[in-house]
A and B are shown apart, each in its own frame.
Chain A
Amino acid sequence: MKQFLVIIILVVFGCKNSNEVQPVEEIEPIESIETDLEIYDFEGLKPFLNQEDDKIHVVNFWATWCAPCVKELPYFETVNRNYADKNVEVLLVSLDFPRQYDTKLKPFLKKEQLNSKVICFDDIDQNTWIPAIDKDWSGAIPATLIYKNGKRKFYEGSFTMENLEAELKNFLN
C-alpha cells in the first residue's frame, strides 16, 4: 500500500513538477506533508481506547462515506470545544477505505478543519477487533465509545447533541 502511495505521489509530482522521476528518498518528506494521516491497525489503536489518565475520552468511529456519521460530527466537535476545560477529549477514528484516503478523506478533513484529533484505523481482521472493542457491537457505524479510566460505555447508533451531552454528563461527576 505504502509503495503504491509512493508510486502515485511519484506520478503526480512527476507530472506536475518535472518529467524526471525523482528518487524515493527525496519524495518522502513531501509525502509526509501531503499525508498527515495517522494510520493504525488494532494493536496501534488499542492504547487510544485504554488510557488511564483521568480524562474522559470520547472515541467516535466514523467514515466520510457514512452519512449519519458526518451528520453527527459537529456534535463531537462542539463537545471537544466546550468541554475541553472539563478534561474531555474527542478522538475521531476514521474507517474510510485506504484507497480513498487521498480522494475522499483528505479533501474532507481539509474542508472541515476539524479541531478534534482524527486518526485512521485500518485492520482487516474485523471479526476480532469489533467484539474486542465492545462485545455487543454489530459493526454498524456510527458507533461511539465513552470512557474514563475503567468506566466505559459503548453506543451503536447516532447521537443528537442532547443525547451526547446527556451521556457525557454521566462521566463528568
Chain B
Amino acid sequence: MIAVVICMVTLSAFTMSTEDEGYSVGDIATDFKLENIDGKMVSLSDYEQAKGFIVVFTCNTCPYAVAYEDRIVALDKKYASKDYPVIAIMPNDTDVMPGDNMKAMQARAKAKGFTFPYLMDKGQKIYPQYGATKTPHVYVLEKTRKGNEVKYIGAIDDNYKDAAAVKTKYVENAVDALLSGKEVEQKETRAIGCSIKVK
C-alpha cells in the first residue's frame, strides 16, 4: 500500500514537473544574449524593426536538423524582409557533441550560406526556459506590448524526408497568419528530432 502511494506521488510529481517545463502558446518568451558565430552577442531586442521571430533550436549533428537546413535558410529568405527573421540557436553541450562547437557551427553556417544568426546557447540556460527538447524545434514569436508572445511551437513542416512532398508548411502558415493579423490555426505540432545533448 505504501509502495502504491509512493509510486503515485512519484508519478504525479513527474507529470507536474514536465508540465511546468517550457512555454505553451500564449506565454511570453524570454529574451537572451547569446554569442553568434561572428563573435557578436545577439538579443531579440536588437531587432527593433521586427514584428516577430522564427526561433529555431537546431544543430550541426542531428540528421533531422541537417535535413531541414535548406528549409531554414529559405524561411529566413522569405520572412526576414517581412520582419520575421530566423534566429537559430544551437542548444547542445559541445563537450558531448564536439561537432556542434563554435568552429563547427561557423563552418556549417558558411557552407550552407546561413543568412541569420546561429547562436550558441552557452551554459544551456535558454533552451530549458523555452522547453525545447530536440533539434529542430521551432518557436514562432510575435512581438506584442507584453513582450515576445509564443504563437507556434513545433515542426517546420510535415515531411522531413522530402521538401518537395510537403503538404503543410506549419511555420509558414503560422507566420503568414500573424502577418495578416489572423489567428494561427495549427498552434502546435510534433515531429521526431534528436534529444538536446547535456552532460
A residues engaging B (CB < 8 A)?
Answer: 65-68, 95, 97-98, 124-127, 130-131, 136-142, 156-158, 170
Give the bracket for the number of chain B residues in contact with chain A: 20 to 34
List 5 A–B pairs whose Cβ atoms lie within 8 Å, in order of A's numbering.
Answer: A126-B192, A127-B154, A130-B192, A138-B134, A140-B194
Q: A126-B190, A140-B134 are in contact. Are A157 and B195 (CB under 8 A)?
A: yes
CB-CB under 8 A from B196, the residues of chain A are 140
Given A130-B190, A130-B192, A142-B195, A125-B158 contact (CB < 8 Å): yes
| Contact between B18 and A124, CB atoms less than 8 A apart | no
- The residue on A at minimum CB distance from B196 is A140
A interface SS class = loop
The one of B189, B194, B195 that contacts A127, using a Cβ cutoff of 8 Å: B189
- Cβ B191 vs Cβ A126 within 8 A: yes
Q: Is the CB of B159 within 8 A of A138?
A: no
Interface pair A131/B190, CB less than 8 Å apart: yes
- A125, A130, A140: which contacts B195 (Cβ < 8 A)? A140
- Tell me if B133 counts as interface (CB < 8 A to partner A): yes
Using Cβ atoms and an 8 Å threshold, which residues of chain B touch A137?
190
In the complex, chain B residues 78-95 whose Cβ is within 8 Å of any chain A Cβ: none
* Cβ contacts under 8 Å, A142 to chain B: 195
Q: Are A139 and B7 in contact (CB under 8 A)?
A: no
Separation in Å of the B151 CB from the closest CB of chain A?
17
Q: Is B40 an interface residue (CB 8 A)?
A: no
With A136-B18, A140-B134, A156-B133 as contacts: A126 and B158 at CB distance below 8 Å: yes
**Interface of chain B residues 164 through 185 with chain A (CB within 8 A):** 165
